[in-house]
């Protein structure tokens, strides 16, 4: 992916099928298989608590991947991602409450609402860039959350909307393990969609727009269409993640979609590493597990009980501090660290890659 990352030596692609393949070398295939086995075995070994954590990570991963498409690849900044998640969750909740709609109606409906909102969120991007775009998405976040809150209070669900578990052929998905696999499949499907989008014409167009809009336009890329497309696809994915979140929690409430959630998603792609799908996944894992790590760390301190009340404040402070540290000292995020480790071993015993062109 990144420029000139050394892969296995002596490996050259010789036909188009190899270009299309998701994995290139035997090592990659083997490690992918091992990872898949671990993922499949995990729910049978883990306790309910870790199962829940894994499910949260998958949900966050879908959201982070969609934001990565938009911000990391197409270069369109969004500070309103939580608004899109809220839109998806509320679509599912409202359709279920008002029409008793099953999940195979509400999920596509959430995607459709997300896509529609994507156009709304994306329209300012045709005129605005950078800061101003971020601000407009921020404003739209507040509007969406307001509409959700309005529905809650007008219909008398002031504490939130309850949703029953989705049923397939009379079987209700309530079991944590079943949820684990449902969300795992959803996350993997999202990842595959992202990978394939990015290596197609669409992905190339997005990267060109991010690199330089004017040049991209000169190359014949329809800027407006591709920007809107980025917003539509990203928002539809985020809305589906929101709807899944609603089903998983059996509960929708505006409180869950605060501005802090948007910040968390932005943090995921920063901490993970901009412009990398792996980064989005790593960021999702990191940000989701972070509060639990903090809690575990606080438990180790003497008189742990006294910190219970201020746990959320500690979380806020630590989260902000970590974000600042990454922005200041590791702008490439976890992926940057990972690449550095990779390079260290690939170049060993040397420290630096040879100067381009020297000795060739």
Partner 1 sequence: MQLAVNIVVLSAIYALIACGYVLIYRVSRVLNLAHGELMMLGAYLLLATAASFAGNPVAAIAAAVVLSLAVGILVYVFLMRKMTGEMVLAAVLTTVALGTLLRGLMVLIWSAQQQYPGQALGFDNPAIALPGGGRISTFAAILVVTTALVYTGLFVFLRFGRWGVRMRAAGQNPLLAAQRGINLHAVYALAWGLSTLTGSMAGMLIALDSGLTSSMTVIGLKAFPAALVGGLDSLVGALVGALIIGAAEVLSIQYVDPLLSDVVPFLVLIAMLIVRPWGLFGTREELDRV
Q: How far is the CB of 131 from partner 1 (least distance, A)?
A: 5
Q: How far is the CB of 234 from partner 1 (least distance, A)?
A: 17
Total Cβ atoms within 10 A of residue 332: 19
Residue 256 contacts residue 250 (beta carbons within 8 Å): no
Residue 167 contacts residue 29 (beta carbons within 8 Å): no
Kind and range of the H or E run holding 169: none
Peptide bond before 349: cis, by omega within 30 degrees of 0? yes
**265 forms part of the interface with partner 1 (CB under 8 A):** no
Among 193, 323, 337, 346, binds partner 1 (CB under 8 A): 323
Taking the least distance from each CB to partner 1, the nearer of 91 and 136 is 136
Question: Total residues at the site for partner 1 (CB under 8 A)?
Answer: 42
**215 forms part of the interface with partner 1 (CB under 8 A):** no
Q: Which of residues 295-314 bind partner 1 (CB under 8 A)?
A: 310, 312-314
**136 forms part of the interface with partner 1 (CB under 8 A):** yes
Q: How far is the CB of 334 from partner 1 (least distance, A)?
A: 16
10 Å CB burial of residue 65 (0-12, 13-18, 19+) is buried
Q: How far apart are CA 272 and CA 339, in angstroms?
A: 12
- Point out which span in 36-44, 97-105, 196-204, 320-328 binds partner 1 (CB under 8 A): 320-328
- Point out which span in 177-185, 279-287, 323-331, 346-354 binds partner 1 (CB under 8 A): 323-331
Q: Which residues contact 101 (CB under 8 A, 6 or more apart)?
A: 95, 109
Closest CA to 49 of 316, 267, 295: 295
Taking the least distance from each CB to partner 1, the nearer of 134 and 184 is 134
Among 40, 172, 324, 347, binds partner 1 (CB under 8 A): 324
Q: What is the CA radius of gyration of the chain?
A: 22
Letters for 230-259 (x = contact with partner 1 by CB under 8 A, - = none) are -----------------------------x
CA 265: distance to chain centroid? 7
Letters for 62-91 (x = contact with partner 1 by CB under 8 A, - = none) are ---------------x--------------
Among 35, 104, 171, 316, binds partner 1 (CB under 8 A): 316
Distances (CA, A) of 269 to 91, 263, 329, 339: 26, 10, 15, 16
Letters for 327-346 (x = contact with partner 1 by CB under 8 A, - = none) are xx--x---------------
**158 forms part of the interface with partner 1 (CB under 8 A):** no
**354 forms part of the interface with partner 1 (CB under 8 A):** no
Distances (CA, A) of 236 to 77, 94, 202, 290: 16, 17, 16, 27
Place of tokens 């006294």: 306
Among 59, 68, 140, 287, binds partner 1 (CB under 8 A): 140
- The pairing of strands 251-252 and 161-162 is antiparallel
Closest CA to 88 of 256, 238, 259: 238
The residue ranges that bind partner 1 (CB under 8 A) are: 77, 124, 127-132, 134-136, 138-140, 142-143, 146, 149-150, 153, 259-260, 263, 266-267, 270, 310, 312-321, 323-324, 327-328, 331
């Amino acid at each position: 992916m990144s420029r000139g990352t050394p892969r296995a030596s002596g490996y050259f692609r010789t036909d188009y099928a190899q270009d299309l393949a998701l994995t290139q070398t035997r090592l990659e295939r083997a490690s992918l298989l091992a990872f898949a086995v671990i993922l499949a075995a995990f729910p049978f070994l883990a306790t309910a608590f870790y199962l829940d954590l894994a499910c949260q990570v998958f949900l966050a991963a879908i959201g982070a991947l969609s934001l990565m498409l938009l911000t990391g690849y197409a270069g369109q900044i969004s500070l309103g991602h939580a608004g899109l998640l809220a839109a998806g969750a509320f679509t599912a909740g409202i359709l279920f409450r008002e029409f008793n709609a099953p999940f195979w109606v509400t999920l596509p409906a959430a995607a459709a609402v997300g896509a529609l909102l994507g156009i709304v969120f994306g329209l300012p991007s045709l005129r605005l860039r950078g800061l101003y775009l971020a601000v407009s998405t921020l404003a739209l976040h507040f509007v969406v959350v307001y509409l959700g809150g309005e529905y809650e209070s007008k219909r008398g669900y002031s504490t939130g909307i309850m949703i029953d578990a989705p049923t397939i052929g009379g079987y209700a998905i309530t079991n944590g393990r079943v949820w684990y696999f449902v969300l795992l499949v959803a996350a993997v499907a999202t990842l595959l969609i992202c990978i394939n989008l990015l290596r197609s014409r669409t992905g190339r167009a997005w990267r060109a727009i991010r690199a330089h809009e004017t040049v991209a336009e000169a190359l014949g890329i329809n800027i407006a269409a591709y920007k809107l497309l980025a917003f539509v696809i990203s928002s539809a994915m985020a809305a589906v993640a929101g709807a899944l979140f609603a089903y998983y929690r059996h509960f929708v409430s505006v409180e869950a979609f605060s501005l802090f959630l948007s910040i968390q998603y932005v943090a995921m792609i920063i901490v993970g590493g901009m412009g990398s799908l792996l980064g989005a996944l790593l960021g999702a894992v990191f940000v989701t597990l972070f509060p639990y790590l903090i809690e575990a760390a606080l438990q180790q301190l003497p008189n742990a009980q006294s910190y219970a009340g201020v746990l959320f404040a500690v979380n806020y402070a630590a989260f902000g501090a970590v974000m600042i540290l990454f922005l200041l000292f590791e702008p490439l995020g976890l992926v940057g660290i990972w690449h550095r480790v990779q390079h260290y071993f690939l170049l060993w015993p040397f420290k630096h890659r040879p100067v381009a062109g020297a000795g060739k």
